[in-house]
Amino acid sequence: EAEEILAGGDIDKEKAVDDGVYPIYANALTNDGIVGYYDDFYRVKAPAVTVTGRGEVGRARARMIDFTPVVRLLAVRSNHDCYFLENAINNHKVVVESTGVPQLTVPQLSSYDICFPKDIVEERKIGTYFNQLDHLITLHQRKIDMLKNMKKAMLDQMFI
C-alpha cells in the first residue's frame, strides 16, 4: 500500500540552516522533531507520515510539507490519507524484535497490516476526525498544565 518507505540519514551540516524552507525532522518528539532546515533540498515529497524508529518506537506523525528525515526516523509515502495512516500506525501494536535498544526498521514497518476503508472519502473523513480530536486533546492538555502551574504558584504564595 505504501509508495515508499525510507529511513533517515545524516544531516548535511553545510546545507542546514536555522530557519529555512524545508524542515529536517529527527526522531525526537520535542519541538515537533525539527532539528534544522534546508533552503533548497528535501528527500520526501509531502504528504507523508514520519514514524520514530528509536526511543518512543512507532510514533507516527502526518507531515504536510516537503521534508528530510534524519537519523532513525522513517518516512512513509502513500496514496492513503495521511491523518488516517498516522492514526492507524499510532494504534498499531509495535513488536520490538531487537534485544538491545528498541528500534523499528523499514522491513518491520512494511510488514504492518493496516485495514483501510474501501472509499477514500470515508478514509479522509475518519482521518480528519481523528486529527481534530488529537488537536482538541492537545489543547486540553495544555490547559491542564497551565492550571497545574497556576495552582502551584498560588500554593507557593500562600505559604510564604
**Per-residue pLDDT reduced to its tens digit, 87-142:** 999 988 777 666 677 788 888 888 888 888 889 999 999 999 999 999 999 999 99
- pLDDT of 28 higher than 70: yes
Omega into 47 within 30° of 0, i.e. cis? yes
The CATH number of domain 2-116, selected from 3.90.220.20, 3.30.70.270, 3.30.420.140, 3.90.640.10:
3.90.220.20
141: Cβ–Cβ under 8 A, 6 or more apart, which residues? none
pLDDT at 1 over 80: no
Enumerate the domain spans of the chain. Answer: 2-116
Q: At what angle do helices 120-158 and 82-90 cross, to 10 degrees?
A: 60
pLDDT digits (tens, 9 = 90+) for 67-96: 999 988 999 999 999 999 999 999 887 776
pTM for the whole thing? 0.78
